[in-house]
Amino acid sequence: MIVSIAYFILYFSLFLVLLALLVLNRKSYTSKLPHQPHISILIAARNEEHTILRCLHAIEALDYPKHKMEVLLADDASTDSTRAVIDDFIRDKPHYTCITITQTLGKAKGKANALAHLAKIATSDYFFYTDADIAVPKEWVQAMLSEMKEGVGVVTGITTIAGNGFFAKLQAMDWLYALGLMQVVSDLGLRVTTMGNNMLLRRQAYEQVGGFESIDFSITEDIAIFNEVLKRGWGFRNIYSPHVLALSTPAPTFSAFLQQRRRWMRGSMHLPLYMAVIFILHSAYYPVLLPFFTYTSVGVMLTIFSIKLFLQSLYLHLCLRRLGRSARWYMYFFLELYLVISSIILILYFFLPIKTRWKGRKY
């Protein structure tokens, strides 16, 4: 009972602080550049025949001079028609190059290995990373470069889910809510994390850590290299802006959704303590307060639920508005149900003694 009350006070105190930071400590971004340097875009693809064209069309539509960018793709032992689709698209585009991965570099495996190979052939000082199932906005390059200030080694944009389906919309809200929680911490200058589907690395920082082939293998290779870059004293920037909002295809099946989130949960083990505390407090809300609910009235229970739903929905509403997006009022209620149910399932699934399946490989 006492633990539940103490948790309740701590949870809402923390949430109110985060909400105040979201409103009062908002950072501004600009996509204007004094000059446009040569850049490299690195994309690892494995069995992406149904999504790679969407990604490439978005790259081709970027508002950046074609003669100042190179697009490097790695066909990572695909067993479908990914390579044929890529070759057909890039046939008349000299600034595109596609290689086939047949060897392993150092400690790298899977996607990290493919990206390590691409870095070897890149010729610029700026490495942009996205995934084969991602569509980046046309202002992406300039907006990301605008935050690559002196001393900054890594810049991270934001990503959400595209799609009109009910489950896809819930996933999209979930992504933007979690990234919104991270952003207010990042805006304080505190390290959070990065995302390999929307990331910019300075070549000097990448080479200083020895590249993906020199760091210990992680199934979340983006977080691993982010942490190594920061250990070398480089700074970081996280951008929460529509100019860097990339759109991912939703998980095709519930099984794929579970595998995706299980991989992310493994990556979350490397989050700094303060971010881990925020997410643990958030996900433990109902399990911790359940004993308290059994000793109180229905009215008190509904009041506590309503306060949480209101604050959470207000926070997400402000995040969506910052991106020029919105959601129907009833979606905020269903998001709460989604978070409760998915959290329980994912916690149980995470501790199953099975390997994580990713792109047809097990880790």
Q: Is 306 a member of any domain?
A: yes
pLDDT at 171: 93
Q: What is the pTM of this model?
A: 0.92
Q: Is 308 a member of any domain?
A: yes
pLDDT in tens, 283-321: 777 777 666 667 777 777 788 788 889 999 999 999 999
Residues 188 and 324 in one domain: no
Residue 58 has pLDDT above 90, yes or no: yes
Q: How confident is the model at residue 3 (pLDDT cuts 50, 70, 90)?
A: low
CA 26, distance to chain mean position in Å, is 20
The DSSP bridge pattern shows strands 126-130 and 134-135 to be: unpaired
Residue 333 lies in domain: 2-24+270-351
Q: Is 145 a member of any domain?
A: yes
Q: Is 260 a member of any domain?
A: no
* Higher per-residue pLDDT: 284 or 10: 10
pLDDT at 278: 80
- Percentage of residues in the chain with pLDDT exceeding 90? 68
Residues 131 and 179 in one domain: yes
Residues 230 and 119 in one domain: yes
Q: Report DSSP letters for 291-313, one per residue.
A: HHHHHS-HHHHHHHHHHHHHHHH
pLDDT at 343: 80
Residue 200 has pLDDT above 80, yes or no: yes
Query: How many alpha carbons lie under 13 Å from residue 335 in its C-beta half-sphere?
Result: 26
Calpha distance 160→250 (Å, rounded): 9
Q: How confident is the model at residue 351 (pLDDT cuts 50, 70, 90)?
A: confident
Q: How far is CA 352 from CA 226, 271, 278, 348, 360, in A?
A: 28, 22, 24, 7, 19
Count up the domains in the chain and report the number: 2
pLDDT in tens, 116-155: 999 999 999 999 999 999 999 999 999 999 999 999 999 9
Calpha distance 178→44 (Å, rounded): 25
Q: How confident is the model at residue 213 (pLDDT cuts 50, 70, 90)?
A: very high
Residues 246 and 279 in one domain: no
Residues 192 and 337 in one domain: no
Calpha distance 1→19 (Å, rounded): 27
pLDDT at 187: 93
